[in-house]
A and B are shown apart, each in its own frame.
Chain A
Amino acid sequence: MRPRALPYSPERRRWRFTITPFRVVLLLIVAVTLGLLGYRFVAGLGAVTNLSDKWPWSFWTWWKLSAVSLAGAGYFTMFMIYFLGRERYRDVERGAFIVSMLGYLMLCAALVIDLGQWYNAYRPIYQWGYHSVMFELFWCVGSYTVVQVVEFFVIFEERVPWRFLNRVLHAIHAPLLLLACFLPIFHQSALVSLYVITKGRLDPLWWSQLLPVYAVVTFFYIGPPVVLLENVIANRTYGRPVHMRGITDMLPVTAFIMFLYLAVRLVDLTVRGVLDELLSGTLYGNLALIELGIGVLLPAVMFASRDLRASKHAMVAASLLAIFGTWGFRFNVTMSGLVESIGVGWYVPSWMEATIALGLGAAVCVAYLFIVENFPIYTEADVAACEAAMAEAKAKELAPRQQPRLAVLPLDQVRELERAGRH
């Protein structure tokens, strides 16, 4: 695979953004989304979404909860490096951090878009509805986003040196680190415990007093799979080497937490007497089975297997399944689990609603690419590898095709040709 662009390196200090056909598509989606957002802020929520008094929250809520769960990548890596001393993850630290920060910025944007009187969004600062889960959410998401943006300035300062900023950042870095470790646990749980109050309406397959615990656990274990996917995508885009060893070291941890999570879910279902609903073959039972079987058990087994961990393809598949499980859990809590009690059928998002969700995701992708190409995110060794991969690809393109097709060559001659192609 030919690398598409080069990451930032101190030798190339010009601001730039490589344009490829895929990025044109991303930018188009972002442009359409901006237009739709303009319409939404003029015409109101009803004009853009299919939301109603029956379905006051739905698709966007699911999208927000799901998208921000991927920020587990940054949290997991940060926790491993700074609190468990796993220095190996420094290679992937900044990439994972950028994914998290952008995820949170997107969440904040999506939250404001979803508010009726969004200009009142600052009010919880002095109007304390402290008995609401939303209150906790507001404070923790808000402050964690600020913490992450401030942490980003550490990277920003390396690119745009500014002594004063540097000094300030060093002074406040310790409390920031503590907050960064502290806050996500609370609001990631709060994001799903919003639905604790739907007791009696959310299907008992999903309603549980333990909803906040499930939310945090799924957020935490999703970290390594997301880091792996981020690595694979970075490899395809920039030719950056996949840090397989570091990541596969993390995956057994993920597998262990996943097994534990599955066990707690099943015990919880048994205690509340709804285990038979899981196996009843009804739509709800099957949805829960798919969520737990394909989204948790299967990837956990794959992560736990030493043989499969050696295969990049298997691990990518397992990571996608793990994300499917985490997103599926949030889908069942926010959407399918409520269908029966709401009683007006499934929620189908309007095309504008879906486009805005997609556009926010596309904006995150564009921002990630821009940051990687303009800020020191990858380690020096990685940047060198990316440059080598790019040079190799260019050489290959320029070199005339010498190999005759379908001809059988002696092995040593093939090796020689390969060697020639590499240099």
Chain B
Amino acid sequence: MMTKDLRRRAPDVDVPPDDDPGGVSRRSFLRAATVAAGTTAILAHGATTAGASELVPEDDPEELAHEHADDPGLLIDITKCVGCAKCVRACKLDNDLEWRQDQSATGADAELASSNWTVVRAEAVETIEESRLGPRRRAARRYVKLQCLHCLEPACASACFVAALKKTEEGPVLYDGNRCVGCRYCLLACPFGVPTFEWDETFGRVQKCDLCPERTTEGEPTACAEACPQGAITFGRRGELLEEAWRRVRSDERYVQHVYGETEAAGTSVMYLSDVPFEELGFRTGVAVDPLPTYTWEVTRILPPFAAGFTVTIMALWARRQKIQRERAEAEANGPRDEEVVS
């Protein structure tokens, strides 16, 4: 009787009626659920058909290499570099970047930083040389020019939720600071640790090499490639560079039998050759060979169908609950009347 009395009262009383929690009617709930399920189903369909080309990362390596064969790229031959850092100077001049005391661009502790789009890092290594007395270990130095590798399937761009980082049609991965919110997910996503952040700015942005698009679209080499006096940096189309790289590797057995950037993160536009194993030079080896965005895609692609299924489940639960409550209410309504008869 108590519950029945309450139910007759206005909907804005403190105690919500049993079968009408917070004033939600079954019909209005089901209507909302149907609309939501329908919308998600349409979105699911849209995502897997129309948007597929943009959403789904290309994971066939040959297809990917073929697609990007004409992209501008660099081939950096570590065996030819003498560490003069003219490339660093050219980059700073061309892109108007500061020389900062706290961000070394050359030497053993050189790191990419907000004012260093490229650096030349000196690595102390050991080489084995043939001498008249047999093979001999020798301390040696190698110089590694670091910069953005301009992936074919960039993890940073896939991670960017405001599309501030984009893989352009022409090839370079470009950053638009005006769109950026500064969440730094690209820094976490990049398998090579390339993007950097302006930590000391009030409104920090991301900084990274843009592969001199104003030069490369005209077919001219990048500032760094142009400045290199040793021919250690070759500018060209990625497909041609890859052929050239393998020609060099095959012609001289001192080269490591690997072109860094051919398969790393499904391929990059900037590639390296070396005579010292890459891991000894501080390169991240063991980078996943599949495009990294595929892993995220594996997660996001199941969401729309999952959402639709989840909505249907909720509706089923809700309907079941309504039925139970109706039955309970009917039983209660019948119960006391029986008592009245008895008394």
- Report A's interface with B, CB cutoff 8 A: 41-47, 51-54, 56-57, 81-85, 87, 114-121, 123-124, 127-138, 154, 158, 166, 169-170, 173-175, 177-179, 181-182, 185-186, 189, 193-201, 209, 211-212, 341, 376
A51→B202 contact, CB < 8 A: no
Q: Taking the complex as formed, is B246 at the interface, i.e. its CB lies under 8 A from any CB of chain A?
A: no
| A193 and B193 contact, Cβ closer than 8 Å, known pairs A57-B188, A82-B318, A85-B325 | no
Question: B55, B180, B182, B201: which has the most chain A beta carbons within 10 Å?
Answer: B182
* Inter-chain contacts of B97 with A (CB < 8 A): none
Closest to A194 in B: B185
* Min distance, Cβ B200 to any Cβ of chain A, angstroms: 5
CA distance A45 to B183 in the complex (A): 11
Contact yes or no, A133 B299, CB < 8 A: yes
List 8 interface pairs A-B (beta carbons < 8 Å), by A numbering. Answer: A44-B198, A82-B21, A117-B203, A174-B31, A177-B22, A186-B307, A200-B286, A211-B299
B198 contacts A193, C-beta separation under 8 Å: no
Q: Contact: B204 with A201, CB < 8 Å?
A: no
Closest chain A residue to B285 by CB distance? A200
Which A residue sits closest to B54, measured CB to CB? A131
By Cβ-Cβ distance, the 9 closest A-B pairs, closest first, are A116-B182, A46-B199, A116-B204, A56-B187, A134-B161, A132-B161, A175-B32, A135-B161, A129-B161
Question: Could you say which residues of chain A place their CB within 8 Å of the CB of B12?
Answer: 166, 170
Are B197 and A116 in contact (CB-based, < 8 A)?
yes
Using A116-B181, A116-B198, A129-B163 as known contacts, say yes or no to A54 and B295 having CB atoms under 8 A apart.
Answer: no
A131 pairs with B55, CB closer than 8 A = yes
Residues of B within 8 A of A57 (CB): 184-185, 187-188
Separation in Å of the A150 CB from the closest CB of chain B?
12
**Using Cβ atoms and an 8 Å threshold, which residues of chain A touch B18?**
87
The reply to whether A131 and B299 form a contact with Cβ atoms under 8 Å apart is no
- Judged by a CB distance under 8 angstroms, whether B283 is at the interface is no
Contact assessment for A136 and B318 in the assembled complex, using a CB-CB cutoff below 8 Å: no
Interface string of B9-25 (1 = CB under 8 A from A): 00110100010011111
CB distance from A57 to the nearest CB of B (A): 5
Pick the contact of B163: A128, A133, A138 (CB < 8 A): A128
Question: Contacts A54-B193, A182-B310, A197-B188: A136 and B303 contacting too (C-beta < 8 A)?
Answer: yes
Considering only residues 284-308 of chain B, those with a C-beta below 8 Å from chain A are 284, 286-288, 292-293, 295-300, 303, 307
Looking at chain B, what size class is its interface with the partner chain?
A: 35 or more
B274 at the interface (CB under 8 A from A): no
- State how many angstroms separate the Cβ of B288 from the closest Cβ of chain A: 4
- The answer to the question of B124 belonging to the interface, with a C-beta cut-off of 8 Å to chain A, is no
Q: Which of A81, A117, A189, A196 contacts B296 (CB 8 A)?
A: A196
Query: CA of A290 to CA of B161 in the docked complex: distance in angstroms?
Result: 35
- Contact partners of A199 in chain B: CB under 8 A: 288, 292, 295
Chain A residues lying within 8 Å of B42, measured Cβ to Cβ, are none
Complex contact B184–A116 (CB within 8 A): yes
With a cutoff of 8 Å between Cβ atoms, the chain B residues found around residue A83 in the complex are: 314, 317-318, 321
Q: In the complex, A141 Cα to B111 Cα: how many Å?
A: 36
Establish whether residues A115 and B182, one from each chain, have CB atoms under 8 Å apart when the complex forms: yes
B159 at the interface (CB under 8 A from A): yes
Known: A82-B318, A175-B32. A53 touches B300 (CB 8 A): no
Known: A181-B314, A182-B314, A212-B299. A117 touches B180 (CB 8 A): yes
Q: How far is the CA of A201 from the CA of B196 in the complex (A)?
A: 18
Query: For residue A54, which residues in chain B have a CB less than 8 angstroms away from its CB?
Result: 193
What A residues does B179 contact at CB under 8 A?
120, 123, 127
**Are B163's CB and A178's CB within 8 A?**
no
Contact A154 B204 (CB under 8 A): no
A194 to B300, CA, bound (A): 11
Given A121-B181, A124-B161, A128-B163, is A185 in contact with B296 using a C-beta cutoff of 8 Å? no
Complex CA–CA separation, A114 to B183 (angstroms) = 7
Q: Which residue of B lies closest to A86 (CB)?
A: B321
